[in-house]
Structure 1
Amino acid sequence: MAKDEAKSSDFSKGLLKSEELYKYILETSVYPREHEALKELRNITHSHPRAGMATAPDAGQLMEMLLNLVNAKKTIEVGVFTGYSLLLTALTLPEDGKVIAIDVNRDSYELGLPVIKKAGVEHKIDFRESEALPVLDKLLNNKANEGGFDFAYVDADKVGYCNYHERLVRLIKIGGIIVYDNTLWGGSVVESESSTVEWMREGRKATLELNQKLSADQRVQISHAALGDGITICRRLY
């Protein structure tokens, strides 16, 4: 089998100063353990004009461990894109596990769907083409769903993160995990607004607000890690 080499679009997901160091991490510890279906979907995603939106594979590896640590069976994913993190979740869940996957646009998901089907895990996925808040609010309308989920992953519109958090804290069980992606927003969180490129400014503001909110939220234990574009792991305490 040919060696799986890091591609240029992978580097855009890392905040390490050295591309060679990030390449070392990917090629030594991540790619050798990556499921073949994930490799296939990652390579397909490289051809997408917005490939940088995909979950970083090293962040995905951490997600897999977290899913296993909480013995996840019921999960929520907000933001799907081509489905790399969704496929990873479905592969990790038990045969009777279920992930509710929410995205406003199904088109990119269709790119990865053939790989998901080939991997034999489509039956674990409940895809809902919708804005996230209506779906989350509908879930909360059923009291049985409060504390009924083990894990959630959010990689969607940054301006919605704070609102998603308030819903997800209620939906996730005590001891369950919520993971937020892009919580360093390309490093712009330490830049001034004027020095941030215009298309990133709204996301920068929303990310700063989220990070402050999570830091002050005593309902969750947090770990803010410089993986990919920054991820924040929240464990519900009460």
Structure 2
Amino acid sequence: MNNLIASPTARPVTPLGILTKKLEAVVQEVNQRQDLPADLVAEINQAWELAAGIDPYLEECTTQESAALTSLAKTTAQEAWDEHFTAGAIVRPLEQEMLSGHIEGQTLKMFVHMTQAQKVLEIGMFTGYSALAMAEALPQDGVLVACEVDPYAAKVAQKAFQQSPHGAKIRVELGAALATLEKLAAAGETFDLVFIDADKKEYTAYFQMLLDTCLLAPHGFICVDNTLLQGEVYLPAQKRSVNGQAIAEFNHTVALDPRVEQVLLPLRDGLTIIRRV
């Protein structure tokens, strides 16, 4: 989540975005003060400029998204998600910040190219931005299975898929992710690349199931989103939300598992890349 088209409801949801917002408030305050040393004010302003300039520069230097992805991002940003909250279907209301966005979408697309994946599994689709980005990199006979629990989000996604020449590569599985994974494993399905971006409290269960079954190919990779969770994982434990604690525990579990190697990248809200050893 979230390099989105500007929206009045958009909010910073990455460590860098939150840091930049806080620094902006500090800059506004110190620039109104007359009792502070000029060199201190200059240092604070430069700190804000360094933080604020990273995301726009990444956008500028990264291959632009397809027209289909641009349209989907705009649709997601303009949707009144509060009106489509399916009580009991998800752990919290849907919001536009759940969208992966340009930089992460292009990163996942590049991973599909690099791994030459034929089959991709996405656990947590939302409106389908990351699914469509990865599908664009799949070969014509490639398959992406996308798990989504919320029917309205899935409806938005499928409409976007129908408008893209790559949408036919995507198969949507509606329902609770763990139940869908059990069904896929029972059917003997195997995937070269798996992207996890669903219920944070179930991340460890997803991870264990992927490794304990045939779901992850012997040389497959797992990409996991939100593994910095707005910085909560490295802030004092008493400042963590339930999801922040779940992600901290997931990161610890992965780090101690001898079956895998992993690297946590500070991309957006944290992206962990995992492979079997």
| TM-score, shorter chain, exceeding 0.5 | yes
2:110 to 51, 65, 75: 65
Would the aligned equivalents of 1:15 and 1:227 in 2 still touch at CA under 8 Å?
no
What residue in structure 1 maps to residue 15 of structure 2? Answer: 15
- Aligned partner of 2:37 in structure 1 is none
Q: Secondary structure at the match of 2:255?
A: helix
After TM superposition, the runs of 4+ consecutive aligned structure 1 residues lying more than 4 A away are 8-11
In the alignment, the residues of structure 2 paired with residue 13 and residue 62 of structure 1 have an alpha-carbon distance, to the nearest angstrom, of: 18
Quick one: structure 1 residues 172 and 6, their matched pair in 2 at CA, closer, same or farther if it must change by over 3 Å?
same
Q: Is 1:166 aligned to residue 208 of structure 2?
A: yes
CA displacement at 1:92 relative to structure 2: 1.4
- Taking the aligned partners of 1:104 and 1:6, their CA distance within structure 2 comes to 25
- Tell me if 1:81 matches 2:126: yes
Counting matched residue pairs gives: 225
Query: How far has the Cα of 1:213 moved from its partner?
Result: 0.8
State the TM-score, normalizing by the size of structure 2.
0.75
Could you say which residue in structure 1 is the equivalent of 2:149?
104
Tell me what 2:191 maps to. 149
Structure 1 length normalisation: TM-score? 0.86
1:1-238 alignment, distance < 5 Å: 7=6, 12-16=12-16, 17=20, 18-26=51-59, 28-30=60-62, 32-48=63-79, 49=81, 50-142=95-187, 144-145=188-189, 148-169=190-211, 170=213, 171-196=215-240, 201-237=241-277
Shift of 1:154: 0.8
List per-residue Cα deviations over 1:13-60 (Å, max 9, x = no partner): 54334232211111x123x43112111111211123411111132122
Name the aligned partner's letter for residue 19 of structure 1. A
Aligned pair in 2 of structure 1 residues 177, 222: CA closer, same or farther (>3 Å)? same
CA contact (8 A) 1:80 1:101 kept: yes
Higher RCO (CA < 8 A, seq sep 6+): 1
- Provide structure 2 residue ranges, at least 5 long, that are not aligned to the other structure: 21-50, 82-94
| Bigger mean CA offset, 133-142 vs 98-107 | 133-142
Bigger CA radius of gyration: 2
The separation in 1 between residues aligned to 2:234 and 2:263, in whole angstroms, is: 18
State, as a whole percentage, how many aligned pairs show the same letter: 30
Structure 1 alignment gaps of length 5 or more: none
